[in-house]
Chains A and B, each alone.
Chain A
Amino acid sequence: MLITAVQDGQMSAGYVTTVVLTGLIVVFIGLALLITFVYLIGKFFKLTGNKKKNREPVKSDINTAETPEPSQNPSEPLIEDGISEETVAVITSAVLAFSPDLKVTGIKKAAVKPKSSRRTAWGEKGVNESTSAF
C-alpha cells in the first residue's frame, strides 16, 4: 500500500478515497468486460442464426415437390410430425370446450394399441429415472 491505512487509530482520508475509487472502478471494469463479451457472443449467435434462417427457404423450395398436397377437407386439422393422436385429441377437445361456435361434426374412433409393458405410468417413470443415468 502506498497510502498509510491507519493514522492515529483512524483511517486516513487518502486511504479511504483510494479504497472507494479503486473499488468502484474495478467493479465497473469487470462488469463492463462481461457486457462486451456477452454482447459479442449474442451478436455472433444472431449472425449464425440469421445465416441458418436464410438457408432454410432454399431447402423448402427443393422439398416442395416431395411434400404431399394439403388435405382437401378444411375441417381436418393439420398435424405436425411428432405429435401423437392422443395429444391432438386432448387439445382439440379443450379448444372445443371453450369455443361455443364450434361444433363436433363427426367422431373418429382410433384403434388403441395395447401396451407391451405391464407397468403403470408411475412405474415406468420410476424405472426411467433410476436407469437413465446408466
Chain B
Amino acid sequence: MNEFLNTLLDLWNESGLRNLSWTHAVMILISFVFIYLAIKKGFEPLLLLPIAFGMLLTNLPGSGMYNPDLFDISSGKSLDFGRILHEGGLLDLLYLGVKLQIYPPLIFLGIGCMTDFGPLIANPKSFLLGAAAQAGIFITFIGAALFGFTPQEAGAISIIGGADGPTAIFVSSKLLGSGSFNIDTGTIALAAYTYMALVPIIQPPVMKLLTTKKERGVVMAQLREVSKTEKIIFPIAVTIIIALLIPSATPLVGMLMLGNLFKESGVVDRLAKTAQNELMNIVTIFLGISVGATTTADKIINVKFLQVIVLGVVAFGIGTATGVLFGKLMYVVTKGKVNPLIGSAGVSAVPMAARVSQKVGAQENPSNFLLMHAMGPNVAGVIGSAVAAGVLLSIVPH
C-alpha cells in the first residue's frame, strides 16, 4: 500500500498539474485566444494556428518538447548541436531550422513560385512605392532606440514594419542569435503575423486620412502586356543586382527569384508545384510550431513584449503612411495618373495589402479595379523588405 501511495506521489510530483504556475496558465489562455483568432476570425490561420499550438505545447509544464536552455548562448557559450540532438525534444530539433535560418528562405522559394512579377515589370515605377513603404522599418528603429532596446533588438523589432513574416524571422534569428536579449524570434514572429492578419483593419484609416476623395477615385491606365522573356530575365537580373549590392539579402532574394524562375521558365513544372505546395506547407508547419514553442511566459509576460506590440503597430502605420504619401507625390508628378492608394500595398503582406487598396478604391468608385496596379508595389514590397532586411543585417552589429 505504501509503495502504491509513493508511486502516486511520484506521478503527482512529475505531472504538469503540480508544476503549473500562473504564468503558464496565462500563456495557455493567450494561446487559446490566438487559436480562436486563427480558426474563427481567419487571421493568417496557416501560420497563426501552428504558432498558437506551439505556444500551447511549450507552456504545458513537463512536456519537454522544447527546452530553451539548450539554445541558451548567453555569456559567450556557443550552440551545442550534439547536446541538442541527444537531449532535445521534437520542437528543439524543428527549431534548428529557425535558428540556422533555413525555413525563411525555403518559404521565399515557395512564394517566388506563386508570385507574378508581371504588374511590376509592366510598371517599374512601382518599385519606388515598395521602397517608400520600407520607411516604416527604419523610422521604427528610432522608436525602439527611444524605448531603450539594444541595436540588435531594435533591428529585429523594426523589421516587423516590413509586413513579411519569413523576413522578420530571418532577421530576428540572425540579430538575436547570439547574446542575451529581452526579446526573441518567437516574440517578433508573433507580433509580425498578428499585424499582418490585421492589415485590413490597420491600413484603411491611414489611407483615408492621407488621401482626398478625388485622389482615391483615380482610374489608372491599363498595364502593358509583359513578354515571357522579360519575365524570365527579371528574376535572374534581380538576383544579380541585389546580391552584388547587398550580399546579406541574397538568401531571401535569391530563393524568391529561384522560385519565380521555376514558375516563369515553364520547364520545371514539377519543381514549381512541389516548392509552392508540399515543401512550403511542410516548412510552414515546422516554422509555425517551432516559433510558437519559443513563446515562453518569461518572454511574453513582460513590459518589453508590450513595447514590441506598440512599436509593431507604429511600424505598420508608418509603412502604410509613407507608401501612400509617396503615391500622392507620384499623383502630383504624373498629373493625376497614379492612384495614391496603391502606395499602401508597398508594405509587402502579399496579396492582402493589394486587396485593401482595391477595396478602399472601390468604396469611392465601384467600377475602379486597382488590384493589378496595387500588385506591382505589393511584390516590390517583398523585394524591398528583403533588401531592407539585408541592410539591417549589414549595418547592425551581430
| B233 close to chain A: CB less than 8 A | yes
The answer to whether A6 touches B150 (Cβ under 8 A) is yes
Docked-complex contact B145 and A35, CB < 8 angstroms: no
Contacts of B206 in A (CB 8 A): none
B17 interface contact, C-beta 8 A: no
- Among candidates B130, B139, B151, B383, residue contacting A15 with C-beta atoms closer than 8 Å: B151
Whether B131 contacts A28 by the Cβ 8 Å rule is: yes
Given A19-B141, A41-B230, A42-B230: A32 in contact with B151 (beta carbons within 8 A): no
A111 within 8 Å of B (CB atoms): no
Query: Do B227 and A45 touch across chains, with their CB atoms under 8 A apart?
Result: yes
Question: Which B residues lie within 8 Å of A28 (CB)?
Answer: 128, 131
- Least distance between A19 CB and chain B CB atoms (Å): 6
Give bound CA distance, A24 to B133, whole Å.
10
Which single member of A10, A19, A42 contacts B121 (CB below 8 Å)? Answer: A42
Please give me the residue from chain B that is nearest to A22 by CB atom.
B395
B131: A residues at CB distance < 8 A = 27-28, 30-32
- Residue from A18, A20, A30, A133 in contact with B245 in the complex, judged by beta carbons closer than 8 Å: A30
Q: Interface size on A (CB < 8 Å)?
A: 32
The answer to whether A19 and B396 touch across the interface, beta carbons within 8 angstroms, is yes
Give the residues in chain A near B169, CB-CB below 8 Å.
none
Q: How far is the CB of A2 from chain B (nearest CB, A)?
A: 11
* B264 CB, nearest partner CB in chain A, Å: 14
* Per-position 1/0 for A95-134, Cβ under 8 A of B: 0000000000000000000000000000000000000010
A15: B residues at CB distance < 8 A: 151
CA distance A49 to B270 in the complex (A): 32
Contact with A along B117-131 (1 / 0, CB 8 A): 000111011011011
Residue of B nearest to A132 (CB): B269
CA A19 to CA B398, docked complex, whole Å: 14
- Which of the listed residues B135, B138, B139, B384 has the most CB atoms from chain A within 10 Å of its own CB? B138
Inter-chain contact A23/B230, CB cutoff 8 Å: no
Contacting residues, chain B, for A133 (C-beta < 8 A):
270
Q: Tell me the chain A residues, 4-47 only, with Cβ under 8 Å from chain B.
A: 5-6, 9-11, 15-16, 18-20, 22-24, 26-35, 37-39, 41-42, 45
Cross-chain pairs A/B with CB under 8 angstroms, 23 sampled:
A1-B397, A15-B151, A19-B392, A20-B138, A20-B142, A22-B391, A24-B138, A26-B246, A26-B387, A27-B131, A27-B387, A28-B128, A30-B242, A30-B246, A30-B387, A34-B242, A35-B125, A35-B128, A37-B237, A42-B121, A45-B227, A45-B230, A49-B227
- Report which B residues bind A (CB closer than 8 A): 120-122, 124-125, 127-128, 130-131, 134-135, 137-139, 141-142, 145, 148-151, 154-155, 224, 227, 229-230, 233-234, 237-238, 241-242, 245-246, 270, 380, 383-384, 387-388, 391-392, 395-397
- Given A22-B391, A30-B242, 17 more A-B residue pairs with CB atoms under 8 Å apart are A11-B149, A11-B154, A16-B142, A18-B395, A19-B141, A24-B134, A24-B135, A27-B384, A27-B387, A28-B131, A30-B241, A30-B246, A32-B131, A33-B241, A35-B125, A42-B124, A45-B230
